[in-house]
Structure 1
Amino acid sequence: MPQLNPNPWFLIMLVSWAVFSLIIQPKLLSFTTINPFSTKLKMTTKTTSWTWPWT
């Protein structure tokens, strides 16, 4: 069965992961976020539970 022969496909997988890890990933991680994180404290709102008519 040719699907079980890892000879060409294993090398292709290793090269593609190396390209992704060493070239593409650092370029993607160098972008800054468009919306920077806010340092404000989040306001917590008090929520009330729903009163079910049958309980």
Structure 2
Amino acid sequence: MPQLNPNPWLFTMLITWATYSLLIQPKLLSFTSTNPPTNKLYQATDTTPWTWPWT
């Protein structure tokens, strides 16, 4: 079964993962968000029970 042979792709996957985690990810995380999240005020919603027509 050739799918189970890790030789041709394992090294490529490890190099890609290492490149992403060591080089690309810190550069992406250093950017500041253009729309930073803000704390929203909690608004309690007034819920009314559903009136089932068959009860």
Q: TM-score under structure 2 normalisation?
A: 0.69
- Taking the aligned partners of 1:35 and 1:23, their CA distance within structure 2 comes to 25
* Number of residue pairs aligned between Structure 1 and Structure 2: 55
Q: 1:40 deviation in Å?
A: 4.5
- Taking the aligned partners of 2:20 and 2:43, their CA distance within structure 1 comes to 41
Partner of 1:9: 9
Aligned amino acid, residue 49 of structure 1: P
Partner of 2:27: 27
Q: TM-score under structure 1 normalisation?
A: 0.69
Aligned amino acid, residue 29 of structure 1: L
Extract unaligned runs of 5+ from structure 2. none
Partner of 2:53: 53
- Taking the aligned partners of 2:40 and 2:13, their CA distance within structure 1 comes to 45
Q: CA RMSD in A?
A: 1.8
Extract unaligned runs of 5+ from structure 1. none
Q: Percent identity?
A: 67
